[in-house]
Amino acid sequence: MDNSHKYRISNYGSRIGIIVDAGPTLGYGHVVRCLRLANALARHAAIIFYPQSESCREFLVSAATDAKFEIRNSKFEINSLPPLVITDLREAHGITATIRRHRSRHISIHDLGLAQCRSDVAIDGSITSLFPYSADKNRALYAGPRYMITREPVRRAKPTRTVLVTFGSESRSAYAQKVSVEMDRMGLKPITTRGFVGSAAVSDEEFAHAMSTCRFAISCAGSTLYDLVASAVPTIAIAFDRIQLKTADAFHERGAVLSAGLMERVSIPVLLGYCREMLENGPLVQRIAEIGQTLVDGNGLSRVVEIVRRESWLTGNKTFTAC
């Protein structure tokens, strides 16, 4: 019996599969950007999600409320794959071999050079790279933050006394609470958000409003940091592991954020010092916002959509036109 979650799908001329994994503690940004990409492509093709875990599947079912997609079960028991498959996985995965066996064209989405695989097209939106991509004449490579899939940038309004505190997952809630207490003591109103649906403190609309009106943000150095930079939100980045530290430091070195360093080494006095900079140093805040938008302009989604359009045409799907 097929336990897949089937939404109402029109009889499109092309199909695109998206293979993604995420859980309560890791990978939230992966599934969110896949949803953004799927929503942008859904007008042109039938989108089929292949979640690699039950928690990822549950998130997709909860988030895809407008009946656009088919969501398969998390066991990944398949007999066939669409002609074009997109993967966004946290680590190297044997699914690459399965995609090749089905003769599907493969687009892989990465961070930091991680999860490299033998795909036809690799897209890495990170500002830095842990592992350089090896030269491959048979693979197209699109790298750099201009290809990061961010949320639609918000227009900045007059700043209020709010501070957006966003650390990505429920497992970091204790630290978020600690930071929020300190913001309250400074006379600021903290707005705290977390990862998966069910633990989120604010809705997507409320999050966008907080980005628009907050005085500044304190964020982990994951995918949300790119959202904030694209919307010119002055941000203090805190790294929760050494991989995130490379991202935070790369943005800091370019003048686009203030990097407080590793969470385990960030003392409260040091963090409060960065907060005072955000409150008192107007020229610095303006420079951070301007530089950030030159690095992440918020158009990464449209660039990736155009890449997918081109690759879909190469598979022989006539719904798309060549670019």
Closest by Cα among 240, 322, 315 to 25: 240
Say what the pLDDT of residue 295 is: 97
Tell me the whole-structure pTM to 2 decimals.
0.88
Separation of first and last alpha carbons in the chain:
41
List, run by run, the mean pLDDT of 10-residue segments along the chain (323 residues): 43 79 76 92 91 87 78 71 90 80 92 83 93 87 95 94 85 84 95 60 82 96 94 96 94 97 92 96 96 96 95 68 38
List Cβ<8 Å contacts ≥24 apart for 92-98.
92/116, 92/117, 93/52, 93/117, 95/19, 95/52
Fold of 162-295: Rossmann fold (3.40.50)
Which ranges in the chain belong to alpha helices (H)? 28-41, 54-63, 95-101, 173-185, 204-213, 223-230, 242-253, 268-280, 282-295, 300-314
Residue among 110, 138, 136, 105 at smallest CA distance from 124: 110
CA 212 to chain centre: 19
CB 71 within 8 A of CB 46: no
Helix (H) or strand (E) holding 124: strand 121-124
Q: Which helix (H) or strand (E) holds 108?
A: strand 105-110
Give the pLDDT score at 287: 97
Copy the structure tokens of residue 98.
């399965």
Which residues touch 218 (CB under 8 Å, ≥6 apart)? 163, 164, 165, 166, 179, 183, 235, 236, 238, 271, 275
Domain boundary assignment for the chain? 5-150+299-314, 162-295
Pairing label, strands 69-71, 5-6 = antiparallel
Residue 21 is classified by DSSP as: -
| Domains 5-150+299-314 and 162-295 in one fold | yes
Range 5-150+299-314 classified under CATH 3.40.1350 = no
